[in-house]
Amino acid sequence: MSGVFRLSSEPLDVMECVRAVTHPTAGGIDVFIGMVRDHSDGRAVTLLEYEAYASMAEKELARIGEDVRARVPGVRLSAAHRIGRLDVGDIAVVCAAGAAHRDEAFRACRLLIDEIKARVPIWKREHGAAGTAWVGWQDARTSRPPVTPRE
């Protein structure tokens, strides 16, 4: 398996991911850079915290790489995701795909980020003027109808 698939508490190096997918037969390299923005769902965001189950997350990143390579043969992939506190403008995730043609590189890079967002156990907490909130979190105690006591 080629490429970088890792988490980091340090700033990400975009070129590390690009170098990992560069090869003589690559006619196209596509890169996705996800950055911390200053808003979410109409609320101001001042910083994000990412937490992960690190060993599981890195294994899942590598599995996703294998899955995408199976769907887009000949592509080389790389992905890195930050954990910890990130300020607005910081890079949160980098995905890169190198392939013989641009169509394959675009497709593979899109599949890579979409699968990372859907499958990797990384949790995001937004901070802003309105307080803090975990993104996508729902209290399991409130997702079921209340229990009615038996008589």
Q: What pLDDT does residue 144 have?
A: 55
Query: Where are the domains positioned within the chain?
Result: 5-131
Instruction: Flag the least confident range among 52-61, 112-121, 137-146.
Output: 137-146
CATH number of 5-131: 3.90.1170.40
How far, in Å, CA of 71 to CA of 108, rounded?
A: 8
Give the distance, in angstroms, between the CA of residue 108 and the centroid of all CA atoms in the same chain.
Answer: 14
CA distance 31 to 109: 7
Helix pair 102-119, 54-71: axis angle to 10 deg: 150
- Mean pLDDT score, 27-48: 95
Lowest mean pLDDT among 14-23, 113-122, 123-132: 123-132
Q: Stretch 26-31: mean pLDDT, rounded?
A: 97
Q: Residue 135 pLDDT more than 90?
A: no
**Nearest Cα to Cα of residue 54 among 7, 3, 119, 112:** 7
User: Nearest-CA neighbor of 121 among 32, 49, 50?
Assistant: 50
At 87-114, the pLDDT tens digits run 999 999 999 999 999 999 999 999 999 9
**By the 8 A CB rule, do 23 and 97 touch?**
no
Query: pLDDT-derived band of residue 141, with 50, 70 and 90 as boundaries?
Result: low
Give all strands of the β-sheet with 76-82 in edge-to-edge order. Answer: 5-8, 76-82, 91-99, 28-35
> pLDDT band at residue 1, thresholds of 50, 70 and 90?
very low
Q: Tell me the average pLDDT of the chain.
A: 91
Look up residue 83 and give its amino acid: I
pLDDT of residue 136: 73
